[in-house]
Structures are given as structure tokens and as C-alpha cells.
Chains A and B, each alone.
Chain A
Amino acid sequence: MEASNLDVAYLALAAILFAIGGVGLLVRRNPLVMIMCVELMLNAVNVTFVAFGKMLNDISGQVIVFFVLVVAAAEVVVGLGLVVAMSRRRPGANADDLRLLRG
């Protein structure tokens, strides 16, 4: 199927955004910022799905995005709950402190 250059550009954009989110996830220590980076990655995926839907002329691309959105929301909720619970015990905790659990 012939895809226009624009569609391909969407995919490229999504890839770059995904990469940015991934690097951010690996580099940042603050749990909240890490959650935000995850959101970036999910958004990139969303863009990809919608682009595919457009290219293939199929609605299910958007349906999937719908679900991704829902799950992302649920995930953020739980993740923030965890951050809250964690920070109560140990204010200023960050990802590196997990190292203390190492045997």
C-alpha cells in the first residue's frame, strides 16, 4: 500500500518521541518525572497507532489508542499512589534508593 510521506513522517516523529521518553526514563531519578517519561512513551505509541490506522484505513487503530489511554490513566493512578505511600515513609526517595533492597 502506498503510504504518503506525511504518514511516514508521523511514524518517524513517534519513534523520536518514544526514544526521548526512553532516554528520560533511564536517566531521571525522580519518580514523578519517570512517570511523566512513561507518559511520553505511551503518547508516542498512540501516535503510531493512529498513523497506522490512517494508513490502513482502519478504525481499530483509534480503538486501541482508546484503550491505551484508559490503561495509562489507571497506571498513573496506581503509580502515584505508590509514590505517595513511598514518600511518606522516606521523603525524597528516588529510583536509586531501590538499591538498598539488594541483598
Chain B
Amino acid sequence: MVELIWLVPALPLVGFTILWFFGKRIGEPLAGWLGTAVVALSFLTTLVVFAGLWNEPDHTFQVDYFTWIPAGDFQVEIGFLLDPLSMAMIMFVTGIGSLIHLYSIGYMHGDSRFPRFFTYLNLFVFSMLMLVLGDNMVLTFLGWEGVGACSYLLISFWFEKEANASAGKKAFVTNRVGDWGFMVAMFAAFFTFGSLNWSTITSQAPGLAETTATLIAVMLLIGAVGKSAQLPLFIWLPDAMAGPTPVSALIHAATMVTAGVYLLVRANPILAASAEWVPWAIAIIGAATLFIAATIAVAQTDIKKVLAYSTVSQLGYMFLAVGSGGYTAAIFHMITHAFFKACLFLGSGSVIHGMHDDQDMRHMGALRKVMPFTAFGFIIGWLAISGVPPFSGFWSKDEILSYALHKSPVLYVIGLAGALITAFYMSRQVFMVFFGKARWGASADAELANLDAHDTSAAGSAGDANDLGEATVAADADAGPVAVATEHHGHDVQPHESPWTMTLPILVLAFFALVAGVLNLPFTENLEFLNKWLEPVVGENQAHLGLSTAKLLAEMAISTVVALTGIALAYAIYMKKKFDARKVELPFFYNGWYIDHGVTVFMGGPGRRLFELIALFDRVVIDGAVNGVGRLSRGGAARLRTVQNGYVRWYALMVGLGTILIIAFILTQVSFS
């Protein structure tokens, strides 16, 4: 049954092919159902394969199909490595993927390019599966690039708007910086191991020299930082919210961005063999990212931007886990995060759909009355991400914090602070959107005016560098509060609940966000299913915590208190209006700590000069060399051409010259006796 693994990526590929050629003819909604069906079938196949994998030794199954690149020493096969790690990943990739496909049928209803959307989604699922299943680095890279390309295609799906196209380009280019790291790692790995096969690499890694391992590890880290939107390459993820919400849910919450974490976990033997400072670097990057992103999320007004920065922050937690030696914790959080983040994103999509494409949270409020199912799912996702027991997020986040504490108390404190802020901004979002007074409709002017007085200070003068969402009118206005208030007068939306194709996935995901914690309960060894499952992959290099029950319970208590404090603070500010929100929603946070702005300035200024220098070099030296060869040929030929001038006497002269030379040559060969 394990042999059926080839079906898992093949099905989405078939879906992609059919939709590519016949999508327009199939049309809406059949194209959507086809796309969903192939991914759902793929998911069912993974379950079958999972059952079969249970019987394999070490729960690992490797199969090679054919040799793709036979080039002497460099052999690349198309083959799959099905080990516990990839098995876990393909299950939730296809599972959540099929739910999101189903969701998209409702969300993209009426779009002019409906079939094309599912074409890209299927291609994406295929690429992601290749990334995870590939048994060598080249296949992983194939998938890596594939998901990057699909991300670009999907972010700029509504490319008629320039901002969306720019966002797609930004994502692709920033990813490319990371891809460079991956490629250098591949070269180094081939040079070191002579093969790019993951099994070969992981088995031979322990004998590696430290500098080599460090080089490969650092390069892989760069790749992961790019793909998983860590500091300093996270700037593309908020802009990527310009894409349709299912895209944000699938790619930028559940799957593509986790590829970086997957890569690091896959390469854990290399990380173990590298220098001491490498895991520290990973952990510090993770900690810094989670904290900074969390603070930025506090000040955002676009419902999707909050979730985008939240994703960046949660990915920071995963990196923190990897750096602290808790690989299984990272994977655990990846899985739970996939569930609750996808749930949150789909919920936000449902809200946007209900609010007729308005994404500004300041126009929302009390939506739970109008959109009960969405609200229910969203609330469960909120509790999960905030780390409230017994939701899944609590367990995974707590495990990460345990490993962080094991590594360093400072990291633990930062992690806790991040958890507090996470709870805070998520509660803020929930309260602003689903509770309080309704700010949509004509009766809400006063409320609006109040909030707008907020905005003109919170929005700041730095402009909309980060805000590329659709239909966010309010932030553009720099006028006084009164003028702004009148602008909002026209928002007479009547929100409504979304169709079942959209609410069903939300509820399913909410269910898993609730219960997924059972995957790895820390109480006894027997309950740590995920740890045991992943042991063949990370066993040796996983840090051992050896927590006593008392310590464990103390940590759990602290985490719970922190989460509840965050929620309480948000309640106080946004529901009870005890403190002024403006003190918290600083412009510094709103503008993303000016990091994006800094990058833009650098690229426009010294960066541009550098690139122009490189372009000049390319033009003068390289093109000059190539053109120089041409010019040399032309010049030489022009000179040689003068020999053929058409004069017979000249030709006779040349004949005579040749004769003399031949005679002279013969004379040198002749000897006189």
C-alpha cells in the first residue's frame, strides 16, 4: 500500500494538467470541484499510505522511479523518501489543501478567471508535495521553486491592480535571496558528499568537518529565512495578502512558509554537526522575529495583515524551537498552526466576503450576530493561537517554550512576551470584528468618528508603505477627523453569512484546532505520539528535556496565565475602553518598525548604485568581451579582405610569393653531398 505514494503528487498534477488545457471549457463551478476532488483523493491516498507505512522498518520507505539527470558522478533520480516527517507533512498539506480548495469554490464565485485559480492551486499542491517527498535536494529544490512560482502567480492573481502585481514580484524576489542560499548549500553538499540524496547526506553528516557543516547549515538557514519569512526577509509576507484569501490561508499560513522549517528539520544532522553558534543563530532569529512581528501585528487595521504578521511571528516560534533543539516541537507547532491559522484566515476571508470586500477592521464589529458560524470557527482559532488550554496551540507553544527555557532563560522570556502580545493582538482582532458595537451601517457615525480620531494619529505620516490590501480607504486620508468621518458615511454594508462551501472548512479546521493537541501531550512518554513518530528522523539530535512533573505543571501554569493576561488586556482596552488604544497602537509598530521602509530606501539609494555598478560591469566587461570578439573578427576580416582586391596582378604576385616560400622551404630540406 505504501507503493501508492506516487499517486499522492500525481493526482494534483493531473488536476493541474486537465485544468490547464480544459479549464476554460469546464468553467465554474466544475473546475473548482475537479480541483478539490483531486486533492481530496490525494489526501485519502495519504491515509492509505500511512496505514501501509506503519509496517515499514523505521517507518521509512524510499522508492526511486527513474534517473532524471544521469551525468557521470552527478546522478539525480526522481524518487520519494517517505519517512515520518514527510508522512506527517503530506497528510496535513493534502488535508488542509482539500479543505481550502472547497472553500475557494465559494470564495472565488463569480471571478472571471475561476478555473485558472484552481489550476494554480493544484500546481501549488503538487509542488509542495514534491518538496516534501523528494528524496534528494534537487527534487526538494524543484518543489521549493515551484511553490515560489505558484506563490507569485497566486499573489498577483488579480494583477489588473498594479499593487497586486508588485506584491507578487516582491514575494518572488525576496524568496530568491533565500533560494540563493539553498543553491549554495546544494553545491556545497554535492561537493562534500558526492551525492544530493537526503538519506546519504543525513547518514554521512555526523562525520562532517565542522566548517563544512556550518557552511551548509548557514546556507540552508538563509534559504529557510527567505521562504519562511523570518527576519530580515519577512517583508514579502504582509504584502502577499494582496492575493485572494484562500491563497493566504494555504500558502502563507499552512504550507509554503513551513517549507523553511521542514528544510531545517530534514537537515538536522547537518545542524548537529555544525558549529555551536548555528543553532543559537537560528534561535535568536526566531526569537527576534516572533517578538517584532507580534508588536507590528498590534497596530494593524487590516484584518489580513494582522494574521500575516501573526504568521511571521508563529514561524519565529518554530525557528526558536529548531534552534533550541526541539525539532518535534517545531513540527508539532507547524501542524497546530496550520490548523488554527488556516481556520483564522478562512474565517477572515468569510468576513471579507460578508463585508463585500472591505478588509478594514475599524468598519466591522458585532459580526457574530450576523455570521455565527464564521464567528464560532474564528473564536476557536483565536483561543488556539492565544495558547489557552486545552486548545492545540497551548500544547505546541508550551513545548516550544520548554525547549527555549532549556536553551536559555532569555529566550524563554522573549517567547513568553511574544505569547502575551499574541494573545493581546488576536483578542483585539476578535473584539474589534465580532464583538462590540457594529460600525457598519448608517447608525455608527459617532463610533466611526471616534475611531478615526484614532487613525489620523495611528496611521502616522509615513504613509501606506505596508498596506496593500483592497478597498482600504480610510488610511489614505490625512485630513482632519471630521472630514474623514463624513467619508465613512457611505459604508452601508449589510454583512451576511457565507455559503456552506466556505463555512464547512472553517468549522472542520476549528475542530482540529481544538483537538490537535492530543498529538503530543507532554504528560507521559506514551502520550507523546508525535515525538515517538518522528524519532527515526530527529531522534539523536533532539534535545532531551527531562522535565519533572512539577516543572512541567509550573510552565503550563505560567503559559496559561500569560495567555489570559493578554486576553484581559485586550478586553480592557477594546471592550471596556479603560485605556486609550492609541498608546498601544504606535505608528512605529504600524509601519513595521520601518524595516520595509529601510529596505526600500537602501534599494533605491546605495543598493541601486551597487546594482548599477554590477550592470555596468556586465555591460562593459562581459558584453564587451563578447562584442569584442565580434569586433575583432570583423576588424581582422576587414584587413584580410584587402588581399582579395580583384587585381589579377596582385594575385599573380601572391602566387610568386608562395613559390618563393616553397622554394625556400625546400632549400632548407635539401642537403648537398
A and B touch in the complex (CB under 8 A): yes
User: A residues within 8 A CB of B647?
Assistant: 95-96, 98-99
B268-287 vs A, CB cutoff 8 Å, 1 = contact: the mask equals 00000000000000000000
A21-51 vs B, CB cutoff 8 Å, 1 = contact: the mask equals 0100111010000000000000000000000
Whether a CB of chain B sits under 8 angstroms from the CB of A102 is yes
Number of A-B contacts (CB under 8 A): 24
Whether a CB of chain A sits under 8 angstroms from the CB of B548 is no
B649 touches A95 (CB 8 A): yes
Instruction: Give the interface size bracket for B toward A.
Output: under 10
Whether a CB of chain A sits under 8 angstroms from the CB of B652 is yes
User: A residues within 8 A CB of B645?
Assistant: 99
B646 touches A26 (CB 8 A): no
A22 touches B648 (CB 8 A): no
B635-654 vs A, CB cutoff 8 Å, 1 = contact: the mask equals 00000000001111100110
Docked complex Cα distance between A73 and B232 (Å): 97
A96 touches B656 (CB 8 A): no
User: A residues within 8 A CB of B646?
Assistant: 98-102
CB distance from B455 to the nearest CB of A (A): 81
Docked complex Cα distance between A29 and B650 (Å): 11
Minimal Cβ-Cβ distance residue in A for B644: A102
Residues of B contacting A: mostly: helix
User: B residues within 8 A CB of A100?
Assistant: 646
Q: Which residue among B646, B649, B653, B656 has the maximum number of chain A CB atoms within 10 Å of its CB?
A: B649
Docked complex Cα distance between A95 and B650 (Å): 10
B656 touches A22 (CB 8 A): yes
Minimal Cβ-Cβ distance residue in B for A102: B646
User: A residues within 8 A CB of B652?
Assistant: 25-26
Docked complex Cα distance between A100 and B652 (Å): 17
B656 touches A26 (CB 8 A): yes
CB distance from B110 to the nearest CB of A (A): 69
CB distance from A15 to the nearest CB of B (A): 12
User: A residues within 8 A CB of B656?
Assistant: 22, 26
CB distance from B662 to the nearest CB of A (A): 15
Docked complex Cα distance between A41 and B126 (Å): 87
A11-22 vs B, CB cutoff 8 Å, 1 = contact: the mask equals 000000000001
A26 touches B653 (CB 8 A): yes
A61-73 vs B, CB cutoff 8 Å, 1 = contact: the mask equals 0000000000000
Minimal Cβ-Cβ distance residue in B for A99: B646
CB distance from A82 to the nearest CB of B (A): 13
Minimal Cβ-Cβ distance residue in A for B650: A26
CB distance from A38 to the nearest CB of B (A): 11
Docked complex Cα distance between A22 and B645 (Å): 21
Docked complex Cα distance between A29 and B656 (Å): 17
User: A residues within 8 A CB of B648?
Assistant: 95-96, 98-99
Docked complex Cα distance between A102 and B651 (Å): 13
Minimal Cβ-Cβ distance residue in B for A25: B652
CB distance from A95 to the nearest CB of B (A): 5
User: A residues within 8 A CB of B653?
Assistant: 26
B431-450 vs A, CB cutoff 8 Å, 1 = contact: the mask equals 00000000000000000000
User: B residues within 8 A CB of A102?
Assistant: 646
User: B residues within 8 A CB of A99?
Assistant: 645-648
Docked complex Cα distance between A29 and B647 (Å): 11
CB distance from B153 to the nearest CB of A (A): 56
Docked complex Cα distance between A26 and B229 (Å): 82
Docked complex Cα distance between A95 and B646 (Å): 11
Minimal Cβ-Cβ distance residue in B for A23: B656
Minimal Cβ-Cβ distance residue in B for A101: B646
B614-649 vs A, CB cutoff 8 Å, 1 = contact: the mask equals 000000000000000000000000000000011111
Query: Top 3 closest A-B pairs, CB basis?
Result: A102-B646, A99-B646, A98-B648
Residues of A that sit less than 8 Å from B by CB:
22, 25-27, 29, 95-96, 98-102
**20 pairs, A vs B, C-beta closer than 8 Å:** A22-B656, A25-B652, A26-B652, A26-B656, A27-B649, A29-B649, A95-B647, A95-B648, A96-B647, A96-B648, A96-B649, A98-B646, A98-B647, A98-B648, A99-B645, A99-B646, A99-B647, A99-B648, A101-B646, A102-B646
Known: A26-B656, A95-B649. 18 other contacts (CB 8 A): A22-B656, A25-B652, A26-B649, A26-B652, A26-B653, A29-B649, A95-B648, A96-B647, A96-B648, A96-B649, A98-B646, A98-B648, A99-B645, A99-B646, A99-B647, A100-B646, A101-B646, A102-B646
